[in-house]
Every structure is written in structure tokens, then in C-alpha cells.
Amino acid sequence: MITIAALTIGEAARRRVLWVLVALAAIAVAITTWGVASLVDLARSEGVGELQLRIGISQILIFIAFMFGFVLVMTAAFFGSPAIAGDIESGVAQALLARPLRRSSYLLGRWLGLAIVMVGYAVLSGLGAIYAVAAVSGYTPPSTLLPVAYLAGQAIVLLSLTVLLSTRLPPIAGGAIAVVAYGLAWMAGVLGKVGLAIGTSGLVGLADASRLLLPTDAMWQGVVFGLEPAFVIGAIGDTPAGRGNPFFADTPPSPEIVAWTVAWVVVVLVLAISQLRRREL
């Protein structure tokens, strides 16, 4: 498993995908830092109060996290969908699996290698953005590691789904299905927020069911919660505007949903292994 994980990381590095991601993350951090610095200068020159400034920056940081989260999810889909299917289509998998290599080790190695790349990218881009914004604005979110962990969690959930799809479907089909599923889960989360704001239990139930089926939105709520200052949560947490805002979360994901997410990833990987074992090469 470790051999295949190292091979997968090596592949990302040698194919320059890793470096392109790092360069894009650095450019995105640089641009957003410059933008935040300009906004801070403008706001201070206009006499905007420090409190409003911190509220504004926390919201900008959430938008930046959303962008990085989206890039991560897309990367997970595009890396994960050919991970198994591409190797089988090209014949690379047959050469490897004719060796004393268990299919489970091969699959988990591919997943682990990609998960390490995803986590590395989440840490680099997430912490990069948080500390760069802190440097130019003086605002640091209440937690730095927690939102980054949830950002990585969101990518790992989608990566696991694409790896499962990759055991049966061609790369493009698997990637497309995973991206659509992520979009639908996010939309279900937004509708759930609207349902909370207007008191429609059906929409709230839909969001809850969607989080069980694909817990990416639960992870996103963790990112949002970790980036918000406590006084914002206190001020708007219990208002319709707060409850209905997809870029606002008044509570972190419950321990139950976090445990479910971990179990979900395990179940999906077990399913993926079982599918690959049954596949004729």
C-alpha cells in the first residue's frame, strides 16, 4: 500500500500537476492578500470601524475558503476518477496486479497517495490564505487548523466517492458524476438553510438526508464555522438572515455527523475494494 501511495504522490509530482496546483494556490493567495490589503486600507481611510472590518474580512476569508474548497473538490474528482479506471484502461494496472500485490493494497495505496496530496494542498492553500490575510489585516479566525481540516475532509469525502466510481466507470463518467453529486449536495445544504430560515421542515430533512448520503456539505459547514469570529455568530446566529445564509454556520458539525463522515469514507472504501476484487482485468 505504501509503495503504491508513494508511486501516486510521485506521479502527481512528476506529471507537474502538484507544482501547477502549488503555483496556482500561491498566485491565488497573493491576489487575495493584495485584494484584502487594498480593502483594509480603503476601509480604514474611510473610517470604517474595526468591528465592521473584522466582520467583512471574516466573510471574505469564507469566500476564499469556498474557492479553495471548490478547487480541492474538483482536483479530487479529476485525480480520483482515473486513479483505478485509467490504470485499467491503459493496462498499467494489469502489470502491477500480476505481481504479489493485493487489490485492496493497490486501491488503498492510490487513495492514500491522493489523499495526502489533497491534505497537503488544503493545508498549504488554507493556512497560506489565513496567515496572509492575518498579516495584512490583523484578523485571525478563532481557529486556523479546524477549517483547514474540514476543507481537507470535504476533499477526502469526494476523493473516496470518485475512487469508488473509478472501480467501475470510465474516468470521465466517474469524475462528472462526482462533481454533479457534490453540486447537488451543496445545493441541498443551501435549501436546508432556506428551510431553517422559513421554517420548512421538508427542506431541512432533505439537507439532512443529503448530508448522510454525501457528507461534503457537513464538512463545508465546519469550514465556515471555524472561520467566523464568535461575536458574528452571537450577533446573527439566531436571526433568519443568519440561519438562511449558506456562508454562515452557528454551530460546528455535530460529533455524530463527523463520526458518520469517517464511517462513510470507510464504507465507501470497503465497497470500492469489493468492486475492484470482483472486477475482471
Partner 1 sequence: MLAMPRLSLDLPAIDVTDLRKRYGRIDALAGLTMTVGRGEVFGFLGPNGAGKTTTVKLLLGLARPTAGSGSVLGAPLGDLGTRRKIGYLPELFRYQPWLPAREVLILHGQLIGLPRSRRRPAAEEALALVGLADRAGDTVGKFSKGMQQRLGLAVALLGEPALVVLDEPTSALDPIGRVEVRGIIRHAADRGATVFLNSHLLSEVEQVCDRIAVIDHGRVVAIGELDDVLGASETEVRVSGLDPADLAAIERFGSPSLDGDRLLVRPMDPGRVPDLVAALVQMGARIHEVRSGRTSLEQRFIELVAQDRPPAGTPSASVLR
- Contact between 20 and partner 1 by CB under 8 A: the answer reads no
Min CB(105)–partner 1 separation in Å: 10
Q: Which residues of 237-274 are buried (b: 16+ CB within 10 A; e: fewer)?
A: eeeeebbbbbbbbbebbeeebbebbeebbeebbeebbe
Whether 116 contacts 5, CB under 8 Å? yes
**Closest of 127, 13, 118 to residue 75, by C-alpha:** 118
Specify the length of the chain in residues. 281
Query: What is the distance of C-alpha 135 from the center of its chain?
Result: 24
Q: Which of residues 103-162 bind partner 1 (CB under 8 A)?
A: none
Which one of 45, 47, 98, 256 is in contact with partner 1 (CB under 8 A)? 98
Q: Which stretch binds partner 1 (CB under 8 A): 28-36, 40-48, 95-103, 226-234?
A: 95-103
Binding segment (CB under 8 A) for partner 1, from list 6-14, 120-128, 132-140, 267-275: 6-14
CB of residue 121 vs partner 1: minimum separation in angstroms?
A: 19
E strand intervals along the chain: none
Cell of 53: 472590518
CA nearest neighbour of 76 among 116, 23, 114: 114
Among 100, 230, 241, 256, binds partner 1 (CB under 8 A): 100
Q: How far is the CB of 276 from partner 1 (least distance, A)?
A: 12
Do residues 237 and 171 touch, judged by C-beta distance below 8 A? no
Q: Please identify, using beta-carbon distances, which residue of 10 and 183 lies nearer to partner 1.
A: 10
| Sole residue written with cell 435549501 | 191
Contact pick of 95, 209, 235, 271 for partner 1 (by CB under 8 A): 95
Q: How far is the CB of 216 from partner 1 (least distance, A)?
A: 30
* Binding string, residues 34-73; x marks residues near partner 1 by CB under 8 A: ----------------------------------------
Contacts with partner 1 by CB under 8 A lie at 3, 7, 10-11, 14-15, 90-92, 94-102, 280-281
